[in-house]
Structure 1
Amino acid sequence: MGGRREGPLMREKGQSLRGSRIAIAIVIGVLLGCVFAVFYPHGLFISDPPIRNRRIGHSDLKISSASCESSEKVDTLKSDILSLSEKNAELMKQVKDLTGKLRLAEQVKDHAEKQVLVLGKPHKAGPFGTVKGLRTNPAVVPDDSVNPRLAKVLEEVAVQNELIVALANSNVKAMLEVWFTSIKKVGITNYLVVALDDPIEEFCKSNGVPVYRRDPDEGVDTIGKTGGNHAVSGLKFRILREFLQLGYSVLLSDVDIVYLQNPFNYLYRDSDVESMTDGHNNMTAYGYNDVFDEPSMGWARYAHTMRIWVYNSGFFYIRPTIPSIELLDRVATRLSREKAWDQAVFNEELFFPSHPGYDGLHAAKRTMDFYLFMNSKVLFKTIRKDANLRKLKPVIVHVNYHPDKLPRMKAVVEFYVHGKQDALQSFPDGSE
């Protein structure tokens, strides 16, 4: 059999057909590649899932470890925040104290500048006998931020920015009743009791007596509740400071006092401190030349001394000035450090002059009329025995010289208010 041979035409046709198929296949492949590229950008198969899983597991361990570390850090941060909060509170307290001191320093500076303005100007001296020096210090700028609650109370109670103030606890309840009853009888409205315990606060409210209850103060508050006369007497210097900073003049009063007239009608108000005296006559009350005799000195045996009986720290009028506040600070500071009688310290700070190692207080002072602002020594030793002096009506009587205070206070009321002429006769001059 002879083989079949293709012609040239058939060969060309077959080659053309194969070329078309290849071209179509290429086009189809490109199109499929584009489709897969769009829908499967990361390929059809993931070649390393185990590795990926292992990486995730390792990360989980890291996250778990980090969570523990984060928890510890959070606790540490909380502790640090608490510590910082406590330090911040302490710093705020220090800032408040410094602000108060700065404000007072500014007032001192202002006071000093005013003095310089007055004293710095050259003045010609007037005619003989007409020259008078400066006496009255300017009042401080009121600062309600010191005690807003007290400031509100004082706005309601004070008259012309002044009032009577007494401190009291339950130990002096009976005397306090005689005290405020006599005040009401005279018609005085500007007075205030600083209650040092709850029973006294309630007692005052029930009797229509203006009262202010102090905020609790550790240490100081204990003295106020349980302390005797001297302890409470020392506490008053610290408490009075706020009244002065708020811009009020205070007539400080112990409760062993009977009021027979309005004391505000008899004040001069020309000094920082205006106080009653423990003196019993002109010499002892207002000062005298006391001659000290030392024979061994021969020609110079006589030494002249100036003496005055002390001011009574249980009844004095104090103005809101820088020297007054400095006086209260000095006395309160010394009483907190020394075992001393507050009246002795009060007088030492008022009267001791500047000397090497000590700067005296530059405060103006005035002694009250001892017949008007009468102590019980004057009354029982002198007044009741003199027919003419018995006709005098004092402004107040302070039973400061005698321990049997309550019966003597009642006797004073009977004598001066009810006119019972023999009410004072049964008592001895002094104490028994």
Structure 2
Amino acid sequence: MALGAVWAALVVLLGAAMCFSAWSLSCARGATVGARGVAPSARARAATERWGRAPSELAVAADGLAPNALRAREAASWAEYARTPPADSPLNRAIRPVLDAVAVRREVMLAIANDVMMCTNPKTCWWDGGNILASFIEVNRAANITNYLIIALDDAVGAACRAARAPYVRIDLAVPDAQKGSRGANMISTLKYELLADVLLMGYAVLVVDLDLAFLRNPFAHLVRDADLEGSSDGFTRGWAGGQLASVSDRSMGWGGGGLYSQLFTINVGCVFVQPSPRTVALMRRVAAALRAKPAWDQQVFNEILLSPGYAERPTHGVSLRVMDHLLWANSKTFFKSERARFFPGATASAPMPVMVHMNYHPDKHKRMVCVIDRYLHGKPDACDAFPGGSEKGT
């Protein structure tokens, strides 16, 4: 019995020594985040208090979170993009009072427009004629959308908004040198990201939209708000819009020749709801920086950054994503083609009303926009029936 007691005591002492050694080693390496069993650093605690969560996507290298120097540099660059702009910047002074006036529960719809959207010059009006700006204002009024703001890039748009009693603010925004010479619509779209970052930093949630959307219902009543970002999809089926798995087969690998990969259509930057957070600010500034660096289609750049997971030296950005229901937030291929039987059931049958239809797939944008308005808002059930599903007759 005495010998057994001695052995038991030795085991207890040895275990205590090992625990003390492990604790000492942890202390020698420095305190890191609480998930590692040690109190978080003061810097991590301050970040958590400021933003409501530990900003792992902005991995502060000084806290020992980055596994290598390259990833630390990348993470630091994300942190830089989340910086707060000067409170007295010209943009803040111009836009903040208008946002305060039109926003509802600090949520606002933003659209950027120049006179091209009025089709004042047929040479630049590439969608076969029609005043898209006027139709956009009309449908917003019909859908009782009051918390929207048009960013007028020239005096002509400002005058048109005043005449229509539409909320607007006149701002000059410079197209990045790298994007000059591209299509007019693309150049305008590149301007939204830096602007979005500043508005998000003011504490507003933003539904940023193109003007070739026909809103049939108030979109703010149909947002889920469970993610940093809710975006409409260019997908035209449930699988393409919401995501699906596909498979590959390599017979040369025999038993191990199969594999799965994910498929997800791009988010359309012409209808995206963004919540204010350091993650979304960093995302918008990251996109803006990429567009300043070289010529590119902004929607492609946006999706490459948003949809790419953390990998190798690329850090995770932490932006959570919800894809909008493609039957409620419908693109024109969904409405006119892939779900035509649903939306075109015949003149006497009732058809579901989407929240909006975005004329992104068809070049005759305004004509199709007008037909959607006539059908749902002006009581003409067959207004869109003559339009083909595709852009060619017979499709």
TM-score past 0.5 threshold: yes
> 1:133-282 residue pairs with structure 2 within 5 A?
144-146=87-89, 147-173=92-118, 174-214=131-171, 216-219=172-175, 228-282=184-238
3-state SS of 1:314 partner: strand
**Considering only CA atoms, is the larger Rg found in Structure 1 or Structure 2?**
1
* CA displacement at 1:294 relative to structure 2: 2.6
Distance 1:107 1:309, change over 3 A: farther
For residues 228-248 of structure 1, the C-alpha deviation after alignment (integer angstroms, 9 at most, x for no partner) is 111111111122122111111
- Counterpart residue type for residue 194 of structure 1: I
Identity of aligned residues (%): 35
Supply the distance in 2 between the matched residues of 1:243 and 1:200 (Cα, whole angstroms).
21
Where in structure 2 are there 5+ consecutive unaligned residues? 1-42, 57-81, 119-130
Contact 1:165–1:192 (8 Å) recurs in 2: yes
Supply the distance in 1 between the matched residues of 2:49 and 2:251 (Cα, whole angstroms).
49
Supply the distance in 1 between the matched residues of 2:288 and 2:261 (Cα, whole angstroms).
29
Distance 1:425 1:360, change over 3 A: same
Distance 1:170 1:160, change over 3 A: same
Contact 2:209–2:272 (8 Å) recurs in 1: yes
* CA displacement at 1:149 relative to structure 2: 2.6
**Are residue 320 (structure 1) and residue 263 (structure 2) matched?**
no
- Counterpart residue type for residue 175 of structure 1: I
- Counterpart residue type for residue 270 of structure 2: G
- Structural RMSD (CA): 3.0
Contact 2:174–2:191 (8 Å) recurs in 1: no
Supply the distance in 2 between the matched residues of 1:202 and 1:415 (Cα, whole angstroms).
29
Contact 1:250–1:318 (8 Å) recurs in 2: yes
3-state SS of 1:419 partner: coil
3-state SS of 2:206 partner: strand
Contact 2:102–2:146 (8 Å) recurs in 1: yes
Contact 1:197–1:224 (8 Å) recurs in 2: no
Supply the distance in 2 between the matched residues of 1:318 and 1:145 (Cα, whole angstroms).
24
* CA displacement at 1:277 relative to structure 2: 1.0
Normalised by the size of structure 2, how large is the TM-score? 0.71
Normalised by the size of structure 1, how large is the TM-score? 0.65
Question: Which protein is richer in helix relative to its size?
Answer: 1
* CA displacement at 1:217 relative to structure 2: 4.8
* CA displacement at 1:189 relative to structure 2: 0.7
Q: State the number of aligned residues.
A: 307
* CA displacement at 1:304 relative to structure 2: 0.5
> 1:406-425 residue pairs with structure 2 within 5 A?
406-425=366-385
Larger deviation, residues 258-267 vs 224-233: 224-233
> 1:1-400 residue pairs with structure 2 within 5 A?
109-110=47-48, 114-116=52-54, 144-146=87-89, 147-173=92-118, 174-214=131-171, 216-219=172-175, 228-386=184-342, 387=345, 391-400=351-360
* CA displacement at 1:406 relative to structure 2: 0.6
Contact 1:169–1:225 (8 Å) recurs in 2: no
Distance 1:223 1:272, change over 3 A: same
Supply the distance in 2 between the matched residues of 1:150 and 1:421 (Cα, whole angstroms).
40
For residues 15-35 of structure 1, the C-alpha deviation after alignment (integer angstroms, 9 at most, x for no partner) is xxxxxxxxxxxxxxxxxxxxx
Supply the distance in 2 between the matched residues of 1:176 and 1:279 (Cα, whole angstroms).
26
Contact 1:107–1:140 (8 Å) recurs in 2: no
* CA displacement at 1:377 relative to structure 2: 0.7
Distance 1:430 1:142, change over 3 A: same
Contact 1:250–1:317 (8 Å) recurs in 2: yes
- Counterpart residue type for residue 409 of structure 1: M
Contact 1:277–1:370 (8 Å) recurs in 2: yes
Supply the distance in 2 between the matched residues of 1:272 and 1:140 (Cα, whole angstroms).
18
* CA displacement at 1:141 relative to structure 2: 9.0
Q: Which residue of 2 aligns with 1:16?
A: none
For residues 163-201 of structure 1, the C-alpha deviation after alignment (integer angstroms, 9 at most, x for no partner) is 111000011121111111000011111100000111111
Contact 2:48–2:54 (8 Å) recurs in 1: no
* CA displacement at 1:301 relative to structure 2: 2.3
Larger deviation, residues 242-251 vs 299-308: 299-308
Distance 1:161 1:255, change over 3 A: same
* CA displacement at 1:115 relative to structure 2: 2.3
Distance 1:222 1:363, change over 3 A: closer
